Amino acid sequence: MFERARNELLTLRDCLRFAVSRFNEAGLFFGHGCDNAWDEAVYLALSSLHLPLDQLEPFLDARLLPQERDILLELYRRRVEERLPAAYLTREAWLGEHRFYVDERVIVPRSFIAELLNEQLAPWIDDPWQVKAVLDLCTGSGCLAILAALNFPEAQVDAVDISPDALAVARKNVDDYRLQARLRLIESDGFNALGEARYDLILSNPPYVNAESMAALPPEYRKEPQLALGSGLDGLDFTRRILAQAKAHLEPGGLLVVEIGHNRAALEAAYPELPFTWLETAAGDPYVFMLRRDEL
């Protein structure tokens, strides 16, 4: 069908209609930036045609050159047949207005912590200029570490990951944002390689998918590094390590901010003595907790 479409589709509108039909027919899963077939078809089109991502209407009835149509239809074909997340096809992901390079070596960035960083963690941090040292555990593509560096302009940022492949992707993003002087990439299993380093702020979007959910992941999520997703039977294995070790790496008054997905009830049941503060995000407050050093 994709081969025949090369000779029949003329305009961008034609291609979008075709893509939405194929995406819905294939039962694709959307959860890496878009949540429906239309938005994903539009994003892939505008990205591949090098058009502004926020301007579709002026181009809807523009006729495509054969080469442009071939490139776009190939992206649509791979999305359907290979079930690759769109970000792996375009080699980019967006957190708000910030673009990051991504490929199959890292999970697609989608952390709720990003919006909190863009608000400089107000009101929990009074003066962003006084934040001097930040740690991002499980940095992946480096996106949260980069946002931390941008929003806390006096901070030195350490970005840690166990995967050298992930750190290679993070290196590209650090270089793209020209943050080499302020952002250090460290290969480490959690805190192991950090010695006695202390931070004003520790961030982490760690693996947190429980075993039952891992077994039921749609194909698109199975294209991501499984090491960055699963975390034991209840999804809290890595979070337990963070809670056990973070205090030793926080300065007095320092903050720990961790994303834990849908595990709030399990976490509160496992640690009834900890006074978690649940931070409000666009999706609500069950996903990201904060603890001060003296609360750990």
Supply the pLDDT for residue 200.
Answer: 98
Half-sphere exposure of 131 (CA within 13 A, CB side): 27
**List of E strands, the chain:** 93-95, 98-100, 133-137, 156-161, 183-187, 199-204, 250-259, 277-278, 288-292
Query: 288-292 and 250-259 as β-strands: parallel, antiparallel, unpaired?
Result: antiparallel
Supply the pLDDT for residue 148.
Answer: 98
- Contact assessment for residue 201 and residue 152, using Cβ atoms and an 8 Å cutoff: yes
Supply the pLDDT for residue 46.
Answer: 97
Burial of 79 (0-12, 13-18, 19+ CB in 10 A): buried
Supply the pLDDT for residue 1.
Answer: 81
Supply the pLDDT for residue 3.
Answer: 78
What is each CA distance from 272 to 72, 255, 275, 276, 286, in whole angstroms? 52, 19, 8, 9, 16
Query: If DSSP codes are grouped into helix, strand and coil, which group holds residue 253?
Result: strand
Supply the pLDDT for residue 37.
Answer: 97
What tokens appear for 141 in the block? 């593509």
95-295: CATH number: 3.40.50.150
Supply the pLDDT for residue 257.
Answer: 98
Q: What distance in Å separates the CA atoms of residue 177 and residue 142, rounded to the nearest whole number?
A: 11
Strand order in 133-137's β-sheet?
Answer: 183-187, 156-161, 133-137, 199-204, 250-259, 288-292, 277-278
pLDDT tens column, 246-285 = 999 999 999 999 999 999 999 999 999 999 999 999 888 8
What is each CA distance from 1 to 4, 22, 77, 81, in whole angstroms? 5, 9, 10, 12
pLDDT tens track, the chain, 296 positions: 887 778 889 999 999 999 999 999 999 999 888 899 999 999 999 999 999 999 999 999 999 999 999 999 999 999 999 999 999 999 999 999 999 999 999 999 999 999 999 999 999 999 999 999 999 999 999 999 999 999 999 999 999 999 999 999 999 999 999 999 999 999 999 999 999 999 999 999 999 999 999 999 999 999 999 999 999 999 999 999 999 999 999 999 999 999 999 999 999 999 999 999 999 998 888 999 999 999 99
The H-assigned helical ranges of 125-223 are 143-151, 164-176, 211-215, 219-222
Q: What distance in Å separates the CA atoms of residue 293 and residue 84, rounded to the nearest whole number?
A: 40
Q: What distance in Å separates the CA atoms of residue 196 and residue 249, rounded to the nearest whole number?
A: 7
What tokens appear for 106 in the block? 């890292």
Supply the pLDDT for residue 282.
Answer: 86
Residues of the chain with CATH 3.40.50.150: 95-295
- Contact assessment for residue 91 and residue 121, using Cβ atoms and an 8 Å cutoff: no
Burial of 4 (0-12, 13-18, 19+ CB in 10 A): exposed
Supply the pLDDT for residue 94.
Answer: 94
- Rg of the chain over all Cα atoms, to the nearest angstrom: 21
Supply the pLDDT for residue 38.
Answer: 97
Instruction: Tell how far CA 61 is from the center of its chain.
Output: 33
What tokens appear for 67 in the block? 């080469």
Q: What distance in Å separates the CA atoms of residue 174 and residue 114, rounded to the nearest whole number?
A: 16
